[in-house]
Structure formats: C-alpha cells, structure tokens
Amino acid sequence: MYSCKDDNLDPLQVNKIQKGKLLALRGTQLQNIYVTGKPGAEFFPRIATNADQFVFDAEYLAEDPNSLESLDIFVLKSNGTPTPDKVLVQNVPFSSFKKDATYPNPWVTITIPLTEILSKLGLTNTYPLSAPTVNTLLTTYKFGISIWTDLKLKDGSIAPADKVVASGLFQSNQFYPAQKLVYTVTDYCSYVASSWAGAYTANEIYSNSVYGPYTLNFTQDGSNPNRFNTTNFWDSGYTAYMVFSPSTNPSTQTVTFPAQTVGGGGTIDPGSTGTYDQCTGILNINLVYKEGAASYPFRYNMKKN
C-alpha cells in the first residue's frame, strides 16, 4: 500500500519552517489570547502613561538551542502604502535568554516601553498624549501596532517574521509564533459620573421585535453620584434607577438595573446588567421586567442625546 503526503494537511506546516528558527510565545500574552480571549497586550491612548509597555515572553525552539545570535524587533510604521516601514526598536542578544525550569528551552522576557514605540512611529510621546497622537493611534493604527521579530542566527542567516506561516501555527498554543504580535489600540475614556445625566434615545430590543425609539431622561441621584433615576422606564412613565460601576478599563465599564419595584408596580429581576461606553455615551443592558405572571426579557439600548 502506498500513500501520498499532502503538505496542506500538516497543521504546523513544518516543511515551511527551517529547523531551529521558531520563536514561540509564552507567558501572560499567550494566556490572554488562548485562555481569556483578550488581546495579548493593549493600551488606551486617551489615558496612556509613560508606565505603559509591551511585554512578552518568548521561548526559542530549536534542535540546536545555541544557534541563535540575537533578535531584531521592529514596529511597522504606516507610510500610506500597503507595505509599511520596518523600524528597528530593539535588539536582544541571545545572552539575555535564560535556561531554567520555567520552560524546557531558552527563553526571554521582552519589554518595550510605549514611549519608545511611539517615537519609532514618529508620534509625540509626551503624556497625556496629544490629541493628534491619540487621533492617529485610533485611526491609522486602529487595528493595532504590529510588532515583528526577525531571528538572526550564528551562521549569518536571518529567519524573518514575514516568512512565518501563521495559519497553521496559531492552531496550537505550543507553537504560537512570537515573531508576529500586535499591540492592540483600544479607545477608552475615563469614567465621568456627571456626564450620564440627561436625555437618551432608547430602544427595547426583544428576541423577535424592537420597541422604540423613545426619549428617556436620567437625573443623577443626590446621595449616590453613580445612581441615575428615570421617570419613564419602559416608556410607561414608571420610576426606576440604574447604577454605574466606575471603570478603570473597558472590561469594567458595567452598569446595572438592580432588583427593584418600578413605579408601575412591576419588578426588575436581579442580574439585569450590561455595559457602557464612556466615549460614545452608549448603554446596552440586558434585563428582565415582570408584571404579574408576565415576563419581558429585553436589551435596553440607549444612546446619550
């Protein structure tokens, strides 16, 4: 019996990777991507500080672990063409690698300050970041800042990042390549409680229909600055209230309609929670409203007027 080898079925595409030339991602960034589903690393231009930095661990997988001379790490700078400029941001000699019980092979922690990345991109790097710099980051680099690493070998050859075959490697966290990473740029505005008072355009989104739009007014509570009261819940002239959680990053931008009896006698179930976006003034809250035996689960979509 004879069989033919189909290279396209090789999940690691090993025939396209020269031996001794794979830098594998490790540490927090790998954990974020594979376990929590978050970006490997991200920063928020509107609240960035000089303490922000791009950090990752990388393990050198090789038949000969001493074949590596150094790493050249680049940022890809937009130049208005489909081919961005590769700008060297850091060289890491193999002498910086460790060999201990943390990983089976030599590994290193790479730290690149955001300040240095911005400088290589030709952007002002004083803090707080200027409006033009923030705008460039949120537009030109809205899909993130690419961080590429070329491997320089002791035999004089180079294993460039642009030769990494990502599609197959990404299927296994053991071989997730550290040669092509992204510093995610996320728009985020600091929480300002008073900004949430005022009129909203509201829609109630049900599983098979949408009710709205209509106007909903919220006033800031006198005793709790994070509580906001309305007199037109469910577009029915009912009193109700919601409570914001002051945020420190996008994942903590949460708002809740606590369990309560509204002005019309109906009730809001516990766990009626959602998210807010301080930059856009948009709320999305999943809640369950009940009147007697009837239950009305819906999503409140509200945008500040």
Cα–Cα dist 183/120, whole Å: 14
- What's the pLDDT score for residue 21? 73
User: Is the CATH code 3.40.50 the one for domain 193-304?
Assistant: no
Going from N- to C-terminal start, the domains of the chain cover 7-185, 193-304
- Per-residue model confidence as pLDDT tens digits over 224-254: 999 999 999 999 999 999 999 999 888 899 9
Cα–Cα dist 57/111, whole Å: 9
Cα–Cα dist 19/177, whole Å: 14
**Stretch 46-73: mean pLDDT, rounded?**
95
Asked which of 120-129, 155-164, 198-207 is least confident by mean pLDDT, the reply is 155-164
Q: Residue 70 gets which letter from DSSP? A: E
Burial degree of 126 (CB within 10 A; 0-12, 13-18, 19+): exposed
- What's the pLDDT score for residue 34? 83
Per-residue pLDDT band at 165 (split at 50, 70, 90):
low
Cα–Cα dist 181/161, whole Å: 10
The token pair at 137 is: 């980051």
- What's the pLDDT score for residue 55? 98
Reply yes or no on whether the pLDDT at 169 is more than 50.
no
Reply yes or no on whether the pLDDT at 120 is more than 80.
yes
For the chain, what is the total number of helices (H) and then of strands (E)?
4, 19
Look at the block and give the residue holding tokens 């009193």: 239
**CB neighbour list of residue 260: distance below 8 Å, 6 or more residues apart:** 240, 241, 267, 268
The pTM of the full predicted model, rounded to 2 decimals, is: 0.77
- What's the pLDDT score for residue 172? 55
Share of the chain above pLDDT 90, in %: 83
For the chain, state the CA radius of gyration.
26
3-state secondary structure labels for all residues of 244-275: ECCCCCHHHCEEEECCEECCCCCEECCCEEEE
Reply yes or no on whether the pLDDT at 263 is more than 70.
yes
- What's the pLDDT score for residue 7? 46
